[in-house]
Amino acid sequence: MEKAYINLIYLVSSILFIIGLKLLSHPKTAVRGNFTGALGMFLAVVGVFFEYGTINQNDIIIIGSAILVGTAIGTFIALKVEMTGMPQLVALLNGLGGLASFLVGGNSLMEILQPGHDTAQLADYQFTISTAATGIIGAVTLTGSLVAFGKLQGLISEKAVRYFGDQIVKVLFFIGSLYLGYLNVIEPTKIEWYWYIVLVASILGVLLVIPIGGADMPVVIALLNSYSGLAASATGFVLGNNVLIISGSLVGASGILLTQIMCKAMNRSLPNVLFGGLGAATSSADTGDIYTGKTKSTSAEEVAMLLDMAQRVVIVPGYGMAVAQAQHAVRELYNQLTDKNIEVEFAIHPVAGRMPGHMNVLLAEADIPYDKMKEMDEINPTFNTVDVVIINGANDVVNPLAKTDPGSPIAGMPILDVDKAKTIIVIKRSLSPGFAGVPNPLFIQENCLMYFQDGKKATQEIVTALKDT
């Protein structure tokens, strides 16, 4: 196929990626956005096959089989992975993107070094520098994402793993990977330099993510997503493939922007994230000393009476709601309250859950109207007019210690100002701390009632009690 037609396919593919990203910005158009992006990727794959070889019957069979296998795997994952497992899946897919990038970079270098192959490309600094960048970023993305996956899946400790001099060790490995990249550029005929890059960068990826606690995983996932895009873009320069450069740049740029948003939501700096200084939980005081004799328990019937007298109710979803798969029960509660002409809104903290937008996705899955989901900055000034706040499985994002304790791991993190509401209902299995590992003084506030129960069951009990009021 002529180069002009291939470039046209790549152009259409790139446009579809951009449109897909735009559509993904709103739940009502997100499904179309997914399909649009998938179509763009399909066209990009087709364009690659046309660009790098003559398509014959055997090629069609191979390409078709690969597409069918990939579609089957993707469909299986989409049907089997629960919403609570979506952050882990995103982390794993980020890692696979990094793996594909550095394997393609290494294969391109090895192909050029084959006997009889034109090695003139090795004198091109764009190729050699891009190859080194692919190895570094791809390997960091792979191992960093695997560590994030392990933390989210519970395979390794979610706590921040710190040790004396850890920052110095990370800097040394970073400098080492850059030096090996330099050697790869000036001596590209020695393929071992490339695989040394991958090895050192792989260790660096582990060292960067292992010190980060589970509470900060939304930031990490956004950052690793950006890394995977940058690795893909570097691979595009290695292959001279425009659509890979464009798509990788889109992912890289959007990931960095999302990381900055997450950092702002957690009052962290980007350098702090890059050097893995997040989530180092300090040893907290004995929760028994803080809570004993000071919490007030409630029941579904009491909550129903409070809700029946309310005019404005705000529901704060958290990871506990996701684990309990309570979003559909929450929708029933929303329906019942709105049928009684009670205003109901949902307060969404930017880092609630395990990945950016986690709570929005869960609520949208349960058909909660998107205009009822209020971001933190929008709803915080209005909490003093709220009659009842129902906190379903959230903890750190409503913890007043972020404002009152400078020594807390969450110090300075913007929180939802639920303490200003008239009555606070906290649905929680126990008084165990959140991922930050610190107690929550909100639970002993005079206007706070604790409903110790699974998020789904508690909500269902409240719905039943409301029917009898």
Q: Which residues are catalytic?
A: 396
Closest by alpha carbon to 358, among 466, 255, 160, 221?
Answer: 221
| 295, 444 contact by CB (below 8 A) | yes
Is-contact 390 352, C-beta < 8 A? no
Please count the CA atoms within 13 angstroms of the CA of 385 that sit on its side-chain side: 9
Identity of residue 431 = L
Q: Token digits for 274?
A: 């890059």
Taken in order 448, 452, 456, 461, the sign of the CA dihedral is negative
What dihedral do alpha carbons 365, 368, 369, 374 form, nearest 10°? -100
Distance CA 234, CA 238 (A): 6
Measured CA to CA, the distance from residue 298 to residue 449 in angstroms comes to: 6
Task: Quote the tokens at residue 10.
Answer: 């790549």
Residue 349, CA distances (Å) to 98, 264, 435 in order: 29, 12, 15
**Token pair for residue 316?**
């704060």
* Whole-number Cα distances in Å, 103 to 180, 196, 198, 246: 17, 13, 10, 20
**3-class DSSP state of 344:** strand
Q: Which of 336, 315, 338 has the alpha carbon at shortest distance from 468? A: 336
